[in-house]
Every structure is written in C-alpha cells, then in structure tokens.
Amino acid sequence: MNLLRKSAVREFLRIVIAVSAALILGFVITLLVSKQPLEAYRAFLLGPLSRFNRFGDWIEESITLTLVGLAVALVFKSKQFSLGAEGQILLGALVSGSIALFVPLPGYLRVPLGLLAAMGVGFLWGYLPGYLKAHLNANEIVSTLMLNTIALKIYDYFLIFHIKPPNAGYNASETFTKDGILPSFVPALPFLADIRARFMSQTNISIMLYLAIIAFLVAYYLMYRTPFGYELRMIGANIKFAHYGGINVKRTIILAFAVSGIFAGLAGAHLAMGIHTKLIQNISLGIGFEGIVVALMARNNPLFVPLSALAYGYLRAGADIMERSSDVSREMVLVIQALIILLVTAERVLPVIQQRVAARRNPQPAPSLAEGGE
C-alpha cells in the first residue's frame, strides 16, 4: 500500500511540475509580448471565477472535456492509439442535433432519444477502426484520422444540404426548440425558480452535468471493477499475457474502441443540444485532440479525468478572458497546452528530477528489476 501511494504521489507530482513549468513558460511569453503582463496573466489565472457567465463557460467546457477525456482514457488504457474521438463527436452532434430538430416527440422523450442516438453512432464509429485494427491489423492512427475527416464531410453535407434552412445566410441550423435542448441542471422546482432563472439566463449548464458525473462513475467502474475493464487493462499492460491468460484480445480491442466512442458521441450531443443549441459548422473545433491532453494529464485514469478536465477547461476559459481584457491573445493557452503534453510524455525529463529528490529522501536503492518492467 505504501509503495502504491508513493508511486501515485510521484505521478501527481510529475503532472503538477509539468503544468507549473508550462504556466511559468506561458508567463515568460506574456512578459515578452504584453505591455501589461501582470494584468493579462491575472485575467488568465483568475478570470473564470470573476463573473457568473464566465464561471458557466468554464463548467460547460469542462463537461465536454470530461466526456472526451474519458473516451480517450478508455481506449488509450488498452494501448490503442485511437485518435477518432473527433469524428465520433461530430457524428454524435449531427445525430442528436437532427433528432432535436426533426423528431416530433415531447422533450422528455426527444432529449433521451438524442443522447442515446449520439452514443450509438459514437459506438459504431469506434467499432469500425477497432474491427480494422483487431482483425486486419490496420494502423489505427491512420484509420481514425481518415474516419475523422470522413465524419466531418458527412456532417458538412447533411448540415448544408439537408439541415440548414434554405434561406439561411450561413451554414447553421435553426436554434432547437425547447424540446430539443438539454434542460438546465437546476430542477424546475418552485423554491429553486430564482436560481434556475439566473443560471439559465447566463449559462448553458444543463443536466449534462449530472450525466457527465454518471459517465465518469461508469467509466471508472467499467475500467476498474468489471471484467471488460480488467481485460482492457491487461491488454494495455501486456497483450501477450492477456492472450496467454485466455482473454479474447480481438473482441476486447474492438470494444475498447467502440465503448470509447460512446463517451465521445455523448460529448457531441452536449455540444449540439447543450452548448450551441443548434448545429453549426466546425462545431467540434479539434476538441477530440484536446481530450487527449485531458486524458494524458489524468494518466488515462477515469478517476482523475474530471479534475484534469476542470483544470484544462479553466486554462481555456482563462485564456478567453485574457484575450478580451488584455493585449494577449487566447492562443497562448495552446502553447501552454502543448508544453504540458511534451513535459508529461517526456519520460526522461521529470523522472530524473524525481529520482534525485527521492534518492535524497530515501537512500535505499530501488529494486533493480523494476527497471526491467518498463
């Protein structure tokens, strides 16, 4: 138990160091380009809490990021490099948005139908590259990148030729009616009416907040408490061992891709039915790739994904505010994000520091076989 804690603490330290280093570098950049660097950085670091609507933006963004992060974490845990979340998000948004627009059902049926359909299409769009990988050994990086673009073209086609009102000036659907929009996370109860009104006027935080929490729990239990999660983790740890032990490797790999797609599809539904409340072009804007950062900071452990998503969503929201209130543009956060990935993945950067610290604290030599396990 002691050892476990120590390694978990180490992992955590590693991430914290990486994030801090990236933030410091970000500040150095701000110093170089800004006339009022302190103000800019303050806006960046504190902005999301400064106003109610900004707080709302942060939470909304974090919900999407949580879902995408869970999707990525699930499939990465099996050491399959599926980059297909982007396409699954797009199709999830398309399908749920279409249902929101065109299916004449009352809201309490239409919204769940939209969510389920988004999850279903995400599942299918994950199943495909999973099958190609498991049975045909087709490089999943290439196949998922291709499927992302194919999904984008499908999305654009339906949006432009079937969904967009003929007289609309730009490529977007009509705003969904109330029956197609995710309800506010504050229940419509008399004594909550004031709060509900306040949230609804300034934010789009919807019941997806609860669904994201459920999704997080489901993902965690799925990965650490179910046979499927066990199979997935063993395949990630040593695929030969999994095969030898009797795990159906092919089936599990396919399912890892597909189940990951369910979460990404749900994220797509959140974009369409929760945040934008209509279908627009470029609705996902690379958020599938940002999910990789979220999963990476969480070390592919669902338990830490919401935290990681909140931290990352905070950075993004802060960057938006910084841009609006200073002379530094929001893209600086992308640079910081990239630095975080580089520092977290570069095994040789942080372990060296950590090992030195650890060695000073604990002069006992580490068991030499631990090295062989890498």
Partner 1 sequence: MAALVEMDQIVKIYPNGVVANDGVTFSVERGEIHALVGENGAGKTTLMKILYGEERPTAGVIRVNGKPVHFHSPHDAIRAGIGMVHQNFMQVPSLTVAENVVLGKEPTRQGLLDRKAAIRITEELSRQYGLKVDPEATIDSVNVGMRQRVEILKILYRGAEILILDEPTAVLTPQETTELFKSIRALVKQGKTVIFITHKLREVKEISDRVTVMRGGRVMGTLPTSEATREGLARMMVGRDVFLEVSKPPRERGPKVLEVRDLTYVSETGRYVLRGLSFNVYAGEILGVAGVEGNGQTELVEVLTGLRPATGGEAKVMGVPILNRPPRAVRLAGVAHIPEDRLTNGLALEATINENLIVDRYFRPPFRRGMFIVNQVVRHHGQKLIETFDIRTPSGDVTVASLSGGNMQKVILAREFSSQPQLLIAAQPTRGVDVGATEFIRQQLVEQRNRGTAVLLVSADLAEVMSLSDRLVVMYEGQITGVFPDASKATEEDIGYYMLGIKRQSPEEMEAYL
Partner 2 sequence: MWELVLRGIFSALFVASVLRISTPLILPALGGLISELSGATNIALEGIMLVAAFTGVVISAYTQSVWLGVIAGMLSGVLVAGILAYFHLYLKADLILAGIALNIMATGGTIFLLYVLTGDKGSSSTLASKAVPVVNIPIIKDIPVLGTILSGHNIFTYLAFILTWLVSVFLYRTPQGVHLRAVGENPEAAASLGIDVRRVRLGALLLSGVLASLGGLNLSMAYLTLFQREMTAGRGFIALAAVFLGGRTPWGTLIAAVLFGFFDALSNQLGSLAIPSQWVQMIPYVATVLALVVYSLRQRAQAIERTRRFQEKHLAETHATGD
Residue selected from 228, 334, 354, 358 as contacting partner 2 according to rule CB under 8 A: 334
Report residue 105: phi and psi, to 5°.
Answer: -125, 155
> Quick check: 189 binds partner 1 (CB under 8 A)?
no
Q: Which of 4, 32, 136, 189 binds partner 1 (CB under 8 A)?
A: 4
**Helices 37-46 & 2-33 angle (0-180, nearest 10):** 140
Using the rule CB under 8 A, is 358 a contact of partner 1?
no
Q: Name which of 238, 294, 250 is nearest 127 in CA terms.
A: 250
User: Does 345 participate in binding partner 2 (rule CB under 8 A)?
Assistant: yes
Q: Closest approach of Cβ 372 to partner 1, in Å?
A: 7
* Residue 145 partner contact from partner 2, partner 1, none using kind-dependent CB cut-offs of 5 to 8 Å: partner 2
Q: How far is the CB of 230 from partner 1 (least distance, A)?
A: 5
Q: Which of residues 285-304 bind partner 2 (CB under 8 A)?
A: 289, 292-293, 296
Q: Which of 149, 118, 61, 141 is nearest to 261 (CA)?
A: 118
Neighbours of 158 (CB within 10 A): 18
Token pair of 116 as six digits: 């389920």
- What is d(CA 28, CA 42) in angstroms, rounded to the nearest whole number? 14
Q: By CB under 8 A, is residue 3 in contact with partner 1?
A: yes
Q: Is 137 in the site for partner 2 (CB under 8 A)?
A: yes
Q: Does 136 sit near partner 2 (CB under 8 A)? A: yes
Can you give the three-state secondary structure of 135-171, one letter per residue?
HHCCCHHHHHHHHHHHHHHHHHHHHHHHHCCCCCCCC
# chain residues binding partner 2, by CB under 8 A: 43
φ, ψ (nearest 5 deg) of residue 330: -65, -20
Positions touching partner 2 (CB under 8 A) are: 29, 33, 81, 83, 132, 136-139, 141-143, 145-147, 149-150, 153-154, 156-157, 160-161, 289, 292-293, 296, 329, 331-335, 337-339, 341-342, 345-349
